[in-house]
Structure 1
Amino acid sequence: MASVRHFQVTFDCEEPERVALFWCAVLGYAVPPPPPGFEAWADFDRTLPPESQGSMFACEDPAGLGPRLFFQRVPENKVVKNRVHLDVRVGGGLVGDERLQTLEAECARLVALGAVRVRLLPADGINESCIVMQDVEGNEFCLD
């Protein structure tokens, strides 16, 4: 039986480059180099048919450990809660006030980038606290 070693997470969105650059800032990801023969992605994008220009963007973990994120333009707006979301792990191993302070500091940084804080899910004796947030297009994610 074959095992999957690499995968990509794909976001449907309205403005692929804007959402990708947000996630680059959140995760420390980088935009991959443009295809050979192009100085910048904008140069490559101009070679596409007009209806395809600006329709996709990607970012990658510079260390090569995390999945590639791909962003594709879709015609419809987001209308319901995500069925899959990212957990941004910033509080690993921390509990109580130390964990909350770490989550709140990262939440403030992400709000400055355009994220929206939705709610705090307090520790409940089984799970530690986390903060539910939305990215620049309303996709839910958790600070965990």
Structure 2
Amino acid sequence: MRARLDEIVFDCADPAALARFWASLLEAEAVDREPHWSYVDPPGLPRLAFQRVPEPKAVKNRLHLDLMAGDIPAATAEAVAAGAGAAGELVTDAYGQFQVLRDPEGNEFCFVSGRAARGGRTRA
């Protein structure tokens, strides 16, 4: 069986707000298809969709997005201003740099640079 990645879907409490947060990070437009479903089509990436679910996020994500950033501290500051929270400090090692963050609903993601952007990190 062959399959193609169509979109990445986030379960969340407020799809419209989360779509706008991610749209601001990825320089894209947020689209509200229905009150319980919004999405973003970032250039060069699969669609990110956001669907309302009744239960809150309870544990650490088993999947997260790594976003390439030339200037991680500047990208982190912009993301925090948009509603993200930094999780720990900027990590610099032989592979490059990464910063773990959480979006407004607690979903983890990372800004990465250098070889860290190609899987050199050991944790998120």
> TM exceeds 0.5?
yes
Q: Distance in 1 between matches of 2:100 and 2:89?
A: 6
Are 1:80 and 2:59 matched, yes or no?
yes
- Structure 2 unmatched ranges of 5 or more: 113-124
When normalised by structure 2's length, the TM-score is 0.81
Matches within 5 A, 1:111-122: 111-122=80-91
Larger relative helix fraction: 1
Q: Which runs of 4+ in 1 moved over 6 A?
A: none
SS of 1:88's equivalent in the other structure is strand
| Count of equivalent residues | 112
With normalisation by structure 1, the TM-score equals 0.71
User: Which 5+ residue runs of structure 1 have no aligned equivalent?
Assistant: 33-40, 46-53, 92-101
> In the aligned structure 1, how far is the partner of 2:91 from the partner of 2:22?
25
Per-residue CA distance 1:123-144 (angstroms, 9 max, x = gap): 232x222100000111100011
Residue among 101, 106, 119 paired with 1:133: 101
Q: One-letter code of the match for 1:134?
A: R
Q: Secondary structure at the match of 2:96?
A: coil
Distance 2:40 2:92 in 1: 33
Percentage identity across aligned positions? 38
Shift of 1:69: 0.8
Distance of 1:68 and 1:29 partners within structure 2: 10
Greater fraction strand: 2
Structure-to-structure mapping, 1:46-61, within 5 angstroms = 54-61=35-42
Matched residues in 2 for 1:13 and 1:3: separation? 25
Kindly report which structure 2 residues correspond to 1:28-67, keeping only aligned pairs within 5 A, or say none: 28-32=27-31, 41=32, 45=34, 54-61=35-42, 63=43, 65-67=44-46
SS in 1 for 2:104: coil
Greater relative contact order (Cα < 8 A, sep 6+): 1
Larger radius of gyration: 1
